[in-house]
Amino acid sequence: MITDFTTPPPLATEPPAHPEPHRDYRDFRGQVILHRVTKIFPGGTCVLDNVSLRINQGEFIFITGVSGAGKSTLLRLLYGAEQPTHGRVIVDNTELTRIRPRPLALLRRRLGVVFQDYRLLSNRTVNENVAFVLRAQGMSPAEIRRRLEPTLKMVGLAQKGHRFPHELSGGEQQRLSLARAIVNTPTILLADEPTGNLDQENSLLVLEILKRLNSFGVTILMTTHDPYLLSQAHHRLLRLHQGHLLEVSSPETG
């Protein structure tokens, strides 16, 4: 079944017609909402055209589409690296329209973001790369130590805490990047082509970790164009095509 999402889905509680920036929307906890979002870049390229989407807490969503379809832009809108040209973006109770730096920083502490190119700090060890996130948020050394071990264990890097990123394989580097994204117990995890540089085996390993996280209630939004991964996942799948977001399948429709 293919559904065009240009018509906004009915929301349980409609956001106000004139959104108040930075206001908390308690009714949308753990949710991701795009409401008639259009993104046009300064050159005039329209990447997203009147897109509406609602992701509920604890959902696992795949977004697919050809390169340049706007998958990364969509995620960038969700962690506030981009602002929509029109429309509204609400993530975990926070309106991102014209959001100020401090509320944005506080929102990002509740998000985890993973990239295709890992974005690790090459001059810091595995432990330091993960601890860096917590230190950057002002956590105490005791709390950092407490969180470090279980997180590394979860991604299978507990024995490699003192290695540097260049001493790890691609799969391990991506798992380290995942560890960094989840060490802060995010409510929503945004993964931008996390398996883009990985072989099938490592891709499945990353997918398994994401599934486990999802089982703890973390909302997962992952972009990919890996058909094998999509066939293995059995999750809700959306496709970005010429600026429109189309629902390809849901777990029910398979």
Partner 1 sequence: MASPRSFSSPSPLATFGYKVTYLLHETLLGLRRGGWLNWAAVSTLMVLLFLVGISLHLAWGLEASVGSLGNQLQISAYLRPSAQAETLVPTVKALDHVVDVQVITKEQAWKTLLIDMGMRDQASVEQQFGQNPLVDTLRVQVDALPHLDSVAATLKRLDPIEEVAYGSQVVKHLQSLQETLRLGCLTITSVLTLATVAVITTTIRLIVMARRREIEVMQLVGATAAWIYLPFVLQGFLFGVIGALAAWGLVLGSQGVLQDLFGTIVALPFLQFTGEATTNRNWQLPLILLGMGTFLGTMGSLIAVHRSSR
By CB under 8 A, name the binding residues for partner 1: 79, 101-102, 105-111, 113, 119, 121, 132-133, 135-138, 140-143, 146-147, 150-151, 154, 180, 182-185, 213, 216
Cβ of residue 12: shortest distance to partner 1, in angstroms? 26
- Residue 98 CB contacts under 8 Å (≥ 6 apart), including other chains: 21, 22, 83
What separation, in Å, do the N-terminal and C-terminal C-alpha atoms of the chain show? 10
Give Cα 151 to chain centroid, integer Å. Answer: 18
| Pair 214, 55: CB distance under 8 Å | no
Structure tokens at 55: 């992701």
Cβ of residue 48: shortest distance to partner 1, in angstroms? 21
* Residue 94 parent element (H or E): strand 94-95
Laid out side by side, the sheet with 32-40 consists of 46-55, 32-40, 86-91, 94-95
Nearer to partner 1, 36 or 124 (CB): 124
Nearer to partner 1, 51 or 131 (CB): 131
Q: How far apart, in whole angstroms, are the C-alpha atoms of residue 29 and residue 6?
A: 23
The CA-based angle 100-105-108, given to 5 degrees, is 125
**Residue 193, SS3 per DSSP:** coil
Q: How far apart, in whole angstroms, are the C-alpha atoms of residue 210 and residue 21?
A: 31
Nearer to partner 1, 8 or 30 (CB): 30
Cβ of residue 241: shortest distance to partner 1, in angstroms? 28
Nearer to partner 1, 168 or 246 (CB): 168
Nearer to partner 1, 50 or 187 (CB): 187
Cβ of residue 77: shortest distance to partner 1, in angstroms? 14
Cβ of residue 194: shortest distance to partner 1, in angstroms? 15
Cβ of residue 238: shortest distance to partner 1, in angstroms? 24
* Residue 245 parent element (H or E): strand 244-249
Cβ of residue 216: shortest distance to partner 1, in angstroms? 7
Nearer to partner 1, 184 or 203 (CB): 184
Residue 79, phi then psi, degrees to nearest 5: -105, 20
Nearer to partner 1, 146 or 162 (CB): 146
Identity of the residue numbered 191: A
